[in-house]
Amino acid sequence: MPRRETPPRERILAAAHVEFAERGLAGARIDTIAREAEASKERLYAHFKTKRDLFDSAIGASVDRWVKAVPLDAHDLPGWASRLYLHFAEHVDDARLLLWGQIEGVTLSAPGIVDHEELTARRVGIRAAQAAGDIPRDWEPDELLTMTFGLVLAWFVTPQTQNLHRDDPERRAVVVREAVVRILGAV
């Protein structure tokens, strides 16, 4: 039997990403993840002590991917929000994992979820954009990021429009961009 090119931990995380995005922590099955990863449950638990540990690691890996794929440009927050929406529209599992994380009470302070240096850099970037006059100073960085994420994820959480992002993602990206512009108002 040929040796697999992808290490077991990576295969397990990839399978967990799909399973948790579809079913959440409670509904996901370790048997399914192990089978899809072509790994035994014993191998899975050698890498991840608990199902929750695997869930948190899957969310952390997902966050790392989209943070790298869509770097924050604090001087163009509307453009960043638009690009982030397009990423989530193309990679729906990343959006779903974020939402399942919210349901399960995952916080930014949870170990392995968010690179705290990256989060601090985002706050510093927002403050620099405020100092440069690109963003109003009356918003705290976390407030701006929270409102922006709310707009980016709006089509993923609104029941009637849950699948509209598939119809015309470019139009939705324009709407997200314009909404962030309006929140920022005149600088």
User: pTM higher than 0.85 for the full model?
Assistant: yes
Q: What is the 3-state secondary structure (H, E, C) of 123-150?
A: HHHHHHHHHCCCCCCCCCHHHHHHHHHH
What is the per-residue pLDDT for 185? 87
3-class DSSP state for residue 106? coil
Among 131, 5, 112, residue whose Cα is nearest residue 60? 112
Check residue 187 and give its pLDDT.
54
Q: What is the pLDDT of residues 129-158, one digit of tens each?
A: 999 999 999 889 999 999 999 999 998 888
Q: Which domains does the chain have, with CATH numbers?
A: 8-184 (1.10.357.10)
Dist. CA 144–CA 134, nearest whole Å: 13
- The segments of the chain whose pLDDT lies below 50 read 1-3
Catalogue the E-assigned strands of the chain: none
Q: What is the pLDDT of residue 1?
A: 39
Residues 135-167: b if buried by 16+ CB within 10 A, e if exposed: beeebebeebbebbeebbbbbbeeeeeeebbee
Question: What confidence score (pLDDT) does residue 161 get?
Answer: 55
The pair of three-digit structure tokens given for residue 4, joined into one six-digit string: 């697999």
In this prediction, residue 165 carries a pLDDT of 53
Torsion of CA 100, 86, 140, 65, to 10 degrees: 60
